[in-house]
Copies of this chain bind each other. A is one copy, B any other.
Amino acid sequence: MADEKLDTQIRREQIAEAAMSIVASHGLRRLSLAAVARRVGLVPSGIYRHFKNKEELLVAVVDRVEERLLANVEAARQESDDPLEQLRSVVMRHVRFIREGRAVPRIIFADDVHESSAKRRQRVLKTFNHYATAVGDIVRAAQAQGRIRQDFDPQTLVMMLFGIIVPAGILWHLTDGRFDVTHYAEQAWQLILAAAASDGTRTK
């Protein structure tokens, strides 16, 4: 039966998934191989059958995060034809990431990750760039359609969208979920939109 005899590849992914989940909910500091092993029903040393060391596992986690982020963008693109609506969707989906499993952001945007091997830093940066590029594509499409002012640097706009999410996520954590991320993100999005849109909502 296919669900018992797990393929090697699948096992690796299962472990990486568990690791990601731990980082997502408890932070990088509490990510021990023991904890990961427990989740997948393995003994700590068993991890080494699938990963050279902890570092390699972490890189795999970053890979998974990248997948999710890009999938997120893709889903947003397919949700609507309006690039502005797509951008809004990206932000809101990311916010949902924060609220549900609290998953993704603390891995890419966490300060924690950066005090690490140069290799992992590079990997995180690459993920960051991919994500930024994917979102930037939407911005450029919006500009092509004349929905966003031409004189805007797409990268700047993308960074500002990240700027909605990151501090909000942190505050959400700090307040144990009492800070209303969704509402804030909505407001901030409106504000940025108003400044960026060619036909400013409140212009004139």
Q: Interface residues, chain A, CB within 8 Å of chain B?
A: 26-30, 106, 109-112, 114-115, 121, 124-125, 128, 152-153, 156-157, 159-160, 162-164, 166-168, 170-171, 173-175, 184, 187-188, 191-192, 194-196, 200, 202-204
Q: How far is the CA of A157 from the CA of B115 in the complex (A)?
A: 31
Chain B residue contacts of A112, Cβ below 8 A: 27-29, 110-112
Chain B residue contacts of A160, Cβ below 8 A: 163-164, 188, 191-192
Q: How far is the CA of A139 from the CA of B202 in the complex (A)?
A: 20
Copies held by the complex = 2
Q: Across the interface, do B106 and A26 meet the contact criterion of CB distance under 8 Å?
A: no
Chain B residue contacts of A174, Cβ below 8 A: 114, 121, 124-125, 128
Chain B min CB distance to A46 (Å):
26
Q: How far is the CA of A109 from the CA of B153 in the complex (A)?
A: 26
Chain B min CB distance to A14 (Å):
24
Given contacts A128-B174, A200-B203, contact A191 B110 (CB under 8 A): no
Chain B min CB distance to A170 (Å):
6
Q: Across the interface, do A188 and B111 meet the contact criterion of CB distance under 8 Å?
A: no
Given contacts A156-B187, A168-B159, A174-B124, contact A111 B106 (CB under 8 A): yes
Q: How far is the CA of A157 from the CA of B188 in the complex (A)?
A: 8
Q: Considering only CB atoms, which chain B residue lies closest to A187 in the complex? A: B156
Q: Across the interface, do A167 and B166 meet the contact criterion of CB distance under 8 Å?
A: yes
Q: What are 28 contact pairs spanning A and B, CB under 8 A?
A: A27-B111, A27-B112, A27-B114, A27-B115, A28-B112, A29-B115, A110-B110, A110-B112, A111-B112, A111-B170, A121-B174, A128-B174, A152-B191, A156-B188, A157-B191, A159-B167, A159-B168, A160-B163, A160-B164, A160-B188, A162-B163, A162-B167, A163-B166, A191-B192, A192-B192, A192-B195, A200-B203, A204-B204
Chain B min CB distance to A43 (Å):
25
